[in-house]
């Protein structure tokens, strides 16, 4: 076959069964009705036909001449390939994007009455509280802004003027807020108690406030005992109570700041302020509590001096033991209640730092009770033996205990601020909930981050089943009317318009399915506050 075939022409093959002819003509039809020949040129085609005629006349005496002539009289087969013309999307096409009324008023300096004359389009809302909302064509809004302001230069000047007015307004607002604060400080604040203030009368806020009051009193009495006795262990205890009081005041500040509502600069809120305050508290315990205790203990070992009567010191230590123990019980009861609500054990709740403020109070008070026992033991040995070295060793022991607590607080709060993952069991439940939905074919790259204070951010890449999404769209349509639209399609332009119309509607259906999945995840898992589903 290859030996008998020549380029650009047709050669006769001596076979009485299989006539061969070469045809390579392809016509391509585009969406604008044009056609283009992709085969050989007319001249080459006429040359092949002339050669074919000569071959026929020279071989008329053969027995299969009639069969060859009948085969050559058959019509030429044409392969038709219809393709859609590629569209170039430029800036002119993107002007058809939608814009909300708020953005139109703010960005193009328009009034709400200016938008009444524009075309209004109902679109699917991305918010849970509304099903649809009104948008406008960006091109219409731009044309309206030029009609109102006359020129792009005038619009730019108005934008600049409004920006300067906004900056001035914010400055005046800050000044007025400061004056109002000074007025309240001078005359007293008679406003009802706010929601932030009520946080300190229940839960972790209550624990912190009780600890501040008790540790403040303990610091005052321990300081008097140290001044009277000169004991190094009593000095360490006074410094310990002072550090606890300052750190718990810092925790109260973190609790109040964490209750602030999210703003554009901090869209996920200020929940981590509790962890930041607890981290600073741990650093403060290490530097102020452990550092000064070690320093005073080392000085006592290097330069020992006799100790006065320790009777008052024992009395103050006993009172401190009772008060610190009461605060410790309050913290333990609060953690048990919170751990029971989360379905965790007491140890898991503390190690995972679910509530950093209560954890700090718990560990500080536990260290305080142990340090009181250590200080009392070392002071007793000093009283019995008359050797002041035991008192200095007690100061070093208290410092070591405080250093251990501070290291644990720094570690747990750092882990929380870095964004650790949630428990594998909880992540598995979220994954199974997504995979059990018919619209989901598979999920990939699943991440669930604990944002602190029982707030979880969930992210996953979802492979949606296009057939289920399309069927969901068709279930909401009139099938007979849709069939009539299909039957009315006769040209490529009508086919393109039909596909674009229903393709956009199917994309909207896919968006609605994403909203439904996010809502289901939040309803079945109250800890999940933010859901990000990416479509593969």
Distance, CA of 151 to CA of 140 (rounded, Å) = 15
CATH of 98-185, one of 3.40.50, 2.60.40, 3.90.530, 3.30.70: 3.90.530
Distance of CA 238 to the CA centre of its chain: 45
> Could you write out the three-class secondary structure of 66-135?
HHHHHHHCCCCCCEEEECCCCCCCCHHHHCCCEEEHHHHHHHHCCCHHHHHHCCCEEEECCCCCCCEEEE
Q: Look up tokens 């289920």; give the residue.
A: 468
Please state the φ and ψ torsions of residue 532, each to the nearest 5 degrees: -125, 105
Q: Which residue has the higher pLDDT, 218 or 37?
A: 218
With CA atoms as reference, report the closest residue to 449 among 378, 501, 527. 527
> Nearest 5°: CA angle at 506, between 504 and 510?
115
pLDDT (tens digit per residue) in 261-316: 777 777 777 888 888 888 888 887 777 778 878 887 888 888 877 766 667 777 87
Identify any residues that bridge with 11 across adjacent strands, giving them in sequence order: none
pLDDT (tens digit per residue) in 135-157: 888 888 888 888 888 888 988 88
Instruction: Please tell me the predicted confidence (pLDDT) of residue 93.
Output: 53
Q: Which residue has the higher pLDDT, 27 or 321?
A: 321
Instruction: Please tell me the predicted confidence (pLDDT) of residue 82.
Output: 52
Percent of residues, the chain, with pLDDT higher than 90: 6
pLDDT (tens digit per residue) in 64-73: 445 544 444 5
The confidence band for 383, taking pLDDT boundaries of 50, 70 and 90, is confident
pLDDT (average), residues 204-209: 81
pTM of structure: 0.58
CATH of 199-418, one of 1.20.1510.10, 3.30.70.20, 3.40.50.720, 3.40.50.300: 1.20.1510.10
For 263, counting Cβ atoms within 10 Å of its Cβ (0-12 exposed, 13-18 middle, 19+ buried), the class is: exposed
For 118, counting Cβ atoms within 10 Å of its Cβ (0-12 exposed, 13-18 middle, 19+ buried), the class is: middle
With CA atoms as reference, report the closest residue to 68 among 13, 5, 117. 13
Instruction: Please tell me the predicted confidence (pLDDT) of residue 462.
Output: 93
Is residue 355 a contact partner of residue 364, using CB atoms and an 8 Å limit?
Answer: no
β-pairing, 79-82 with 121-124? unpaired
β-pairing, 26-29 with 98-100? unpaired
pLDDT (tens digit per residue) in 452-498: 777 888 999 999 999 999 998 998 888 888 899 899 999 888 898 89
The full set of domain ranges for the chain reads 98-185, 199-418, 424-535
> Could you write out the three-class secondary structure of 155-198?
HHHHHHHHHHHHHHHHHHHHHHHHHHHHHHHHHCCCCCCCHHHH
Please check the confidence at residue 355 and state whether its pLDDT lies above 60: yes
Please state the φ and ψ torsions of residue 523, each to the nearest 5 degrees: -70, -40
pLDDT (tens digit per residue) in 421-440: 888 888 888 999 999 999 99
Instruction: Please tell me the predicted confidence (pLDDT) of residue 46.
Output: 47
The confidence band for 62, taking pLDDT boundaries of 50, 70 and 90, is very low
The confidence band for 83, taking pLDDT boundaries of 50, 70 and 90, is low
With CA atoms as reference, report the closest residue to 398 among 325, 323, 289, 314. 289
* Average pLDDT score, the chain: 76
pLDDT (tens digit per residue) in 115-140: 888 888 887 665 555 667 788 888 88
Instruction: Please tell me the predicted confidence (pLDDT) of residue 129.
Output: 57
With CA atoms as reference, report the closest residue to 36 among 49, 26, 47, 51. 26
Q: What percent helix, strand, coil does the chain show, rounded to 5?
A: 65, 10, 25
Instruction: Please tell me the predicted confidence (pLDDT) of residue 439.
Output: 92
Distance, CA of 329 to CA of 56 (rounded, Å) = 113
Distance, CA of 137 to CA of 126 (rounded, Å) = 18
Distance, CA of 505 to CA of 9 (rounded, Å) = 53
With CA atoms as reference, report the closest residue to 393 among 296, 320, 287. 296
Instruction: Please tell me the predicted confidence (pLDDT) of residue 205.
Output: 79
Q: DSSP per residue over 247-284, as a string? A: HHHHHHHHHHHHTSPPBTTBTT-STTHHHHHHHHHHHH
Q: Which class is domain 424-535? A: alpha beta
């Amino acid at each position: 076959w290859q030996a008998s075939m020549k380029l650009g022409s047709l050669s006769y093959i001596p076979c009485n069964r299989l006539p061969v002819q070469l045809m390579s003509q392809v016509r391509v039809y585009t969406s604008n009705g044009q056609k283009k020949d992709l085969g050989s040129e007319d001249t080459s085609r006429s040359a092949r036909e002339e050669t074919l005629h000569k071959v026929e006349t020279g071989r008329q005496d053969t027995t299969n001449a009639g069969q060859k002539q009948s085969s050559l009289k058959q019509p030429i087969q044409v392969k038709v390939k219809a393709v859609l013309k590629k569209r170039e999307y430029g800036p002119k096409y993107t002007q058809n994007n939608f814009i909300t009324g708020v953005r139109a008023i703010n960005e193009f300096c328009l009034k709400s009455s200016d938008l009444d004359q524009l075309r209004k389009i109902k679109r699917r809302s991305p918010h849970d509280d509304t099903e649809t909302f009104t948008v406008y064509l960006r091109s219409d809004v731009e044309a309206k802004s030029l009609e109102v302001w006359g020129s792009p230069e005038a619009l730019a000047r108005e934008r600049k003027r409004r920006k300067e007015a906004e900056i001035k307004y914010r400055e005046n607002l800050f000044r007025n807020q400061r004056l109002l604060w000074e007025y309240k400080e001078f005359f007293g604040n008679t406003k009802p108690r706010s929601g932030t203030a009520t946080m300190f009368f229940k839960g972790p806020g209550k624990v912190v406030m009780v600890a501040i009051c008790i540790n403040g009193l303990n610091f005052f009495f321990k300081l008097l005992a140290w001044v009277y006795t000169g004991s190094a262990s009593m000095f360490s205890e006074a410094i310990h109570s002072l550090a606890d009081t300052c750190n718990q005041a810092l925790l109260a500040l973190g609790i109040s700041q964490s209750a602030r509502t999210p703003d554009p600069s901090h869209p996920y809120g200020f929940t981590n302020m509790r962890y930041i305050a607890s981290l600073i508290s741990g650093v403060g315990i290490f530097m102020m509590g452990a550092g000064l205790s070690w320093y005073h203990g080392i000085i006592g070992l290097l330069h020992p001096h006799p100790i006065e009567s320790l009777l008052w010191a024992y009395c103050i230590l006993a009172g401190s033991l009772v008060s610190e123990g009461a605060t410790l019980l309050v913290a333990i009861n609060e953690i048990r209640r919170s751990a029971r609500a989360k379905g965790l054990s007491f140890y898991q709740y503390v190690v995972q730092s679910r509530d950093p403020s209560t954890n700090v109070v718990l560990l500080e008070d536990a260290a305080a009770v142990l340090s009181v026992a250590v200080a009392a033991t070392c002071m007793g040995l000093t009283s019995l033996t008359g050797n002041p070295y035991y008192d200095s060793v007690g100061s070093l022991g208290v410092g070591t205990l405080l250093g251990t607590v501070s290291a644990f607080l720094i570690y747990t709060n750092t882990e929380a601020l870095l964004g650790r993952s949630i428990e594998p069991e909880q992540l598995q439940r979220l994954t199974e909930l997504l995979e059990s939905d018919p619209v989901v074919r598979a999920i990939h790259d699943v991440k669930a981050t604990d944002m602190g204070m029982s707030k979880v951010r969930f992210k996953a890449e979802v492979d949606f089943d296009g057939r289920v999404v399309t069927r969901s769209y068709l279930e909401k349509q009139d099938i007979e009317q849709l069939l009539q639209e299909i039957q009315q399609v006769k040209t490529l332009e009508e086919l393109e318009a039909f596909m674009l119309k229903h393709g956009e509607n199917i994309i909207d259906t896919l968006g609605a399915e994403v909203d439904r999945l996010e809502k289901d995840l939040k309803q079945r898992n109250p800890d999940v506050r933010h859901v990000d589903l990416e479509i593969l």
